[in-house]
Structure 1
Amino acid sequence: MIELLLLLLPVAAASGWYTARRGMSRKKQKQQPQIAPVYFKGLNYLLNEQPDKAIDLFIELLDVDSDTVETHLALGNLFRRRGEVDRAIRIHQNLIARPSLNREQRAQALLELGQDYMRAGLFDRAENLFLELTELKIYNEQAYIYLLEIYQQEKEWQRCLDVADKISVSHFPSLPNAVAHFYCELAEQMLSQQNISAAEGYLKRAQQVQRNNVRALLLQAEIDYTRGDCRSVVKLLQQVEENEPIYLSEVLPRLVECYKQLGRQHELFEYLQQLYQRHHCTEAMMILSEMIVEKEGESAAVDAMLRHLEEAPDLKGLERLVRLNLQRSEESPKEALEVLLVSVMKLLEKQPAYQCDHCGFTAKKLHWQCPSCKRWGEIKPQQGLTRSIKANAVT
């Protein structure tokens, strides 16, 4: 209540002053103007915790003209930022209803009201206002950006692409990345309908917009895998490693499977060794440790995992180390190792597998668009224990 009082007192003061000034002008009073009684009525509403009545009263006092439009806009914007969307909507609707507004003032009020509707989840109403602005050709760049946000919320990917064509990259630097993901979304829709040809067409467009887009490479690799074209899968997944090694955890299981289907296990061992030398990736070491057991025995695998954990501490690597020791352990320490293994597995269950590099949102599965900040391609697999956790939301 105190915050609202502090917010509205300047408006009330301006209202009282403005009303008194207009009354003095009309009556040509020479004496000092008296503050309008309605001003005290508004304050009384505030003090009696009736803010809605106070707001209505002060809005009526502020006649809409060139001197007060900015006051209305600022007050509505302030309410929206405070989360009081209903009040913001009332102020901006009151403003738009006035016939005295010029073309630019009306457009500005429409833009603000559209944002109010978006904040309230009334996307249809917001869309209509923003489309009106694009027809007026004023504030149309901002209107297109808000339309893009609405269509993403509604998963209207073709509409997203249509709007994106009308937005300048200088106003939206991350637009090419977003557009590539729009094409990937359409490709996934086509794959769900078994329309492989259309899906590949969208993936090619995604690569044209953003070369070596990880999501497009992964989707194309899955298409080629269903065809049995393991050579193409290996080539595509190696491109992911070359451009975005952070996604190795998403790539390695399928890559290992294709190497084995091609009968190239020896090449796989050498490739994983090179991969580990380049990135010190836990996932690569875990696969290598299994192959080392077959080639050199469990002790060699334990030594390799110990060296890895010294350089890059990681719960997954620790779990693998405990399992290796269990395989070669005697009965006495085996019980303690089993307890340790259970503890590590519980810690792994609580640890989020993915984190947004922009806002810190954490998740158990990969989202290509962050549910929190709505950015595309910012959620990445977590690596080791060194990455900071900026948020606690886990889905």
Structure 2
Amino acid sequence: MLELLFLLLPVAAAYGWFMGRNSVKHKELKDRANITKNLSSGLNFLLTDQEDKAIEQLLHLLDIEAATIDTYLALANLFRRRGDWDKAIRIHEKLHQLKLPKQQAQQIQFELAKDYQSAGLYDRAEKLLAPLIKKDFLRERALKHLISLFISTHEWDKAIALNTAIDQTNSTSLKIALANINCEHMGQASTIDQMKPLQQLAEQFPMAIRPRYELARLAFSLQQHELAFSVFSEILREKPQWTADLLKLAEQCQPDKDAWYQLLSHLSNKHNNISAHIALASWLLQQGSVTAAEQLLLDKLQQQPNIRLFQSLLDLRQQQSEQAAEVLTSVNGLVNNYLDKKVLYSCRNCGFKTRQPYWLCPSCQQWETVEPISGIDGR
């Protein structure tokens, strides 16, 4: 009889293991059914515009199942884009409390910081973003949001202190932003003592226009016309899209005839710039070459139809013919009325349009992206 009991022990153990396994599996199935039920309820609340109830239901589900993090991130980002920052914050704060892998936890921390920044809670956003600039995979994005935050609060010193971290990235936009922030911090340069700091900024940030522009403007105000013209010319050769604004400033530096002609020829022939075409035609007129000026405008109009080139040709013909002057004056007036309503600048990043220049785009908050427009109405 005792031997029989020993023989039955393995059978009892196997039965116990089997029943226990079935019990665990049954619990798992029951939990999954509850999760599905709660998730369905949450989605139903969303579809019926009962968002507060939906969030409560879905946040409760987080305590049971953390495997659907991406779904919650997408939902929170949707709320943030809609401007429902409080809802996005609630979801991201709940996610931030979960024990998750380090990289995933840092990503959620970054998203929560973006919520705080969008809601105007800058102190909280800064506190979360500051540690993330030490993480390679988040450094550049965290820096961009920190820079944006400090621009909003005009805390130039804090932004400039990020110089070392920005140097560790390959982001041109961040370096252009830092160059402009240094200029903002410096204020409007007006004394000889500010010449050297501007030269250092121009050398440190060759990809930015602002430091060189401020340097040229300061040199001009100090009667250093040769230096001012040299810097303006450098910018124009590198960034011909700024010709519409900077060419007049360069002309005020009273360059010698050869240097001025070479600059205009370069911008007109190599870069096909409208403002340069018009300025070159004007220079030819000053030299007494009326026919050459007219032919230049006609040739450029055939190659590149443009209202402003047409207007310059009208002005030239008006000066040549007294008989046609009255008719041409009327046409010129119509052209002026048309051009007065056209925008002059456009942001190459977001498409924002305006009639006045900005170093910082009011729409997308990017530096040096608002440029003179090109095309049939362009300059």
TM-score, normalised relative to structure 1:
0.73
Q: Which has the larger radius of gyration?
A: 2
* Correspondence 1:1-395 to 2 at 5 A: 45=45, 49-63=49-63, 66-67=66-67, 72-81=72-81, 83-96=83-96, 98=97, 101=99, 104=102, 107-131=106-130, 141=139, 142-167=141-166, 169-170=168-169, 172-187=171-186, 189-191=187-189, 194=190, 196-197=192-193, 199-211=194-206, 213-259=208-254, 264-265=256-257, 268-269=260-261, 272-273=264-265, 275-296=267-288, 298=290, 301-331=293-323, 333-385=324-376
Aligned partner letter, 2:341: K
3-state SS of 2:371 partner: strand
Q: Report the alpha carbon displacement of residue 301 of structure 1 after superposing the two structures with TM.
A: 3.7
1:56 Cα deviation after fit:
1.3
How far, CA to CA, are the matches of 1:138 and 1:290 in structure 2? 54
Whether the 8 Å contact between 1:190 and 1:196 is mirrored in structure 2 is no
2-side partners of 1:214 and 1:72: how far apart?
A: 42
- What does the per-residue CA deviation read over 1:170-194, in whole Å, with 9 as the maximum and x for residues that have no partner? 463543333333333334x152xx5
Find the aligned partners of 1:293 and 1:140 in 2 and give their Cα distance: 58
* TM superposition shift of 1:212: 6.8
Q: Which amino acid aligns with 2:274?
A: T
Q: Using the alignment, how far apart are the partners of 2:40 and 2:239 within structure 1?
A: 65
Residues 113 and 128, structure 2, Cα contact 8 Å, conserved in 1: yes
User: Which amino acid in structure 1 is aligned with residue 153 of structure 2?
Assistant: E
Alignment check: 8 A CA contact 1:241 1:247 kept? yes
CA 1:195–1:265: 2 relative to 1, 3 Å: closer
Give the SS at the match of 2:254: helix
Q: State the 1:78 CA deviation.
A: 4.0
Rounded Cα–Cα distance in structure 2 between residues aligned with 1:31 and 1:154: 52
Q: Between Structure 1 and Structure 2, how many residues are aligned?
A: 353
CA distance in 2, matches of 1:61, 1:238: 64
Indicate how the Cα distance of structure 1 residues 266 and 72 shifts in structure 2: closer, same or farther if over 3 A, else same: closer
CA spacing shift, 1:159–1:200, aligned 2, 3 Å: farther
Cα drift, residue 225 of structure 1:
1.0
Partner Cα separation in structure 2 for residue 81 and residue 101 of structure 1: 27
Percent of aligned pairs with the same amino acid: 28
Q: SS where residue 206 of structure 1 aligns?
A: helix
The answer (yes or no) to whether the contact 2:199–2:212 under 8 Å persists in 1 is no
Q: TM-score, normalised by structure 2?
A: 0.76
CA distance in 2, matches of 1:354, 1:186: 25
AA of the residue aligned to 1:87: K
Can you list the C-alpha shifts for 1:359-381, whole angstroms capped at 9, x where unaligned? 33332222233333333333332
Distance in structure 1 (CA, Å) of the matches to 2:241 and 2:40: 64
Task: Call closer, same or farther: CA 1:379–1:144 in 2, change over 3 Å.
Answer: closer
Greater relative contact order (Cα < 8 A, sep 6+): 2
In 2, Cα distance between the equivalents of 1:167 and 1:42? Answer: 42
- The residue type equivalent to 1:147 in the other structure is L
Report the equivalent of 1:393. Answer: none
Shift of the alpha carbon at 1:341?
Answer: 0.6
Check whether the contact 1:107–1:138 (CA below 8 A) recurs between aligned residues: no
Runs of 5+ consecutive residues of structure 1 not aligned to the other structure: 1-23, 388-395
Structure 1 position 74, deviation (Å)? 4.5
